[in-house]
Amino acid sequence: MTDRLPTFPWDRLTPFKKTAAAHPDGIVDLSVGTPVDPVPVSLREALAAAANSPGYPLTWGTPELRAAIQGWLERRHGVRVADGAVLPTVGSKELVAWLPTLLGLGPGDTVVLPELAYPTYDVGVRMAGATPMATDGLAALGPAPVRLVWVNSPANPTGRVLGKDHLRKVVDWARERGAIVASDECYLDLGWDDAEPVSILHPDVCGDSHENLLAVHSMSKRSNLAGYRAGFVAGDPALVSELLAVRKHAGMIVPAPVQAAMKAALDDDDHATEQKERYRARRTLLRDAFEGAGWRIEHSEAGLYLWASHPDHDAWGAVGALAERGLLVAPGAFYGPTGERHVRVAFTATDDRVKAAVQRLAE
């Protein structure tokens, strides 16, 4: 396994974390987009109320959860999916990592990834024994046989949002070749300023058919449920049915109490709005502070990160310079060679730690 998979990226940050932690006022960890705010009370209550669940839960999810997923997609994002075309997952990372394997891909199959991308796309392809190809230029691939195309909008790490026209071209290209498009939409609710993220399943993108399309969603960002491992996939009923069949065999099931918490979260938009406003405030403070300290912010129009560069540093040099100030960020090199001049700055720290970061950047 270690021969065919890369080193876990965040292990390489260990020495910089030690440097940042030595700051007199402690570390400000902006390296990972993990929630730090409380799980809403109503979601915890839903989890607790379902705690007496001695039997095996449904791999497909309860009817109530499936209805909540469908309702949220239509209410929030204008997407109507067929009955049976949604499936809860053990967080979104699990689905991203295992999707090529679950779809039966293997040696000889090519999977296209974004040039700057969440590392788990590449890892999942390698786990399946397939071949990853990182490119943003599908037209340049010509007749190359491709089984799966990953898109990510809003993107991690850059926060870039792909417009409807761009996504429509990806769908058309894939359909001409019989390839599946998997769209990682974990940050779809987190557009800033004038950004309007759109799902691959929206009719303006794919017309009246979800054939060969899958959208992957996470409850971690919207509802602070990273610790619950709660996500779902939706789209082509035939593909979702295939995923369901394989997951039944493999025992890949979301626990019943977590399913209950997911339903409560998807039925309630108010807590998500409140959380988004917390992130908006932190984003504004950090963006202003970094730009005031001579950093350039690119893209970053959605999601939970700032994509930042400094004229005096490459990615690792920037990580080191910020660590000396007690700030830990992720080097852009984690996400591909074209990120070697950038760092990713998460604004998921507490208000107190964000204020500390702002003060240190001004010194």
pLDDT in tens, 310-359: 999 999 999 999 999 999 999 999 999 999 999 999 999 999 999 999 99
Boundary of a domain, candidates 268, 284, 299: 268
Boundary of a domain, candidates 223, 242, 268: 268
For residues 238 and 333, state if they share a domain. no
pLDDT surpasses 70 at 20: yes
For residues 193 and 291, state if they share a domain. no
Reduced to 3 states (helix: H, G, I; strand: E, B; else coil), residue 226 is: helix
Under 8 Å between Cβ of 168 and 206: yes
The answer as to whether 79 is a domain residue is yes
Task: Please identify which residue in the block is written with the tokens 């409807």.
Answer: 164
Q: What is the CATH number of the domain that holds 243?
A: 3.40.640.10
For residues 243 and 293, state if they share a domain. no
Q: What is the pLDDT of residues 88-104, one digit of tens each?
A: 999 999 999 999 999 99
For residues 153 and 252, state if they share a domain. yes
Euclidean distance between CA atoms 98 and 109, whole angstroms: 15
Q: What is the CATH number of the domain that holds 349?
A: 3.90.1150.10
Q: What total number of domains does the chain contain?
A: 2
For residues 148 and 215, state if they share a domain. yes
Tell me if the bond preceding 38 is cis, omega within 30° of 0. Answer: no
Task: Please identify which residue in the block is written with the tokens 């570390």.
Answer: 27
For residues 287 and 355, state if they share a domain. yes
Per-residue pLDDT, 9: 72
When pLDDT is cut at 50, 70 and 90, the band that residue 137 belongs to is: confident
Of 312, 310, 280, nearest to 296 by C-alpha is 310
For residues 34 and 141, state if they share a domain. no
Backbone angles phi, psi at 283, to 5 degrees: -60, -45
For residues 180 and 158, state if they share a domain. yes
For residues 296 and 166, state if they share a domain. no
Euclidean distance between CA atoms 217 and 233, whole angstroms: 6
Under 8 Å between Cβ of 91 and 231: yes
The answer as to whether 2 is a domain residue is no
Taking residue 231's Cβ as centre, other Cβ atoms within 10 Å add up to 24
Boundary of a domain, candidates 216, 248, 268: 268
The answer as to whether 237 is a domain residue is yes
Euclidean distance between CA atoms 94 and 89, whole angstroms: 7
The answer as to whether 43 is a domain residue is no
For residues 252 and 138, state if they share a domain. yes
What are the beta bridge partners of residue 12? none
Taking residue 327's Cβ as centre, other Cβ atoms within 10 Å add up to 26
The answer as to whether 290 is a domain residue is yes
For residues 332 and 358, state if they share a domain. yes
DSSP state of 107: T
For residues 169 and 306, state if they share a domain. no
Reduced to 3 states (helix: H, G, I; strand: E, B; else coil), residue 16 is: helix
The answer as to whether 21 is a domain residue is yes
The residues, any chain, with a CB within 8 Å of residue 62's CB and separated by 6 or more, are 256, 259, 260, 263
Q: What is the pLDDT of residues 224-280, one digit of tens each?
A: 999 999 999 999 999 999 999 999 999 999 999 999 999 999 999 999 999 999 999
The answer as to whether 94 is a domain residue is yes
Per-residue pLDDT, 4: 66
The answer as to whether 47 is a domain residue is no
Please give the residue range of the domain that contains residue 303.
9-38+271-362
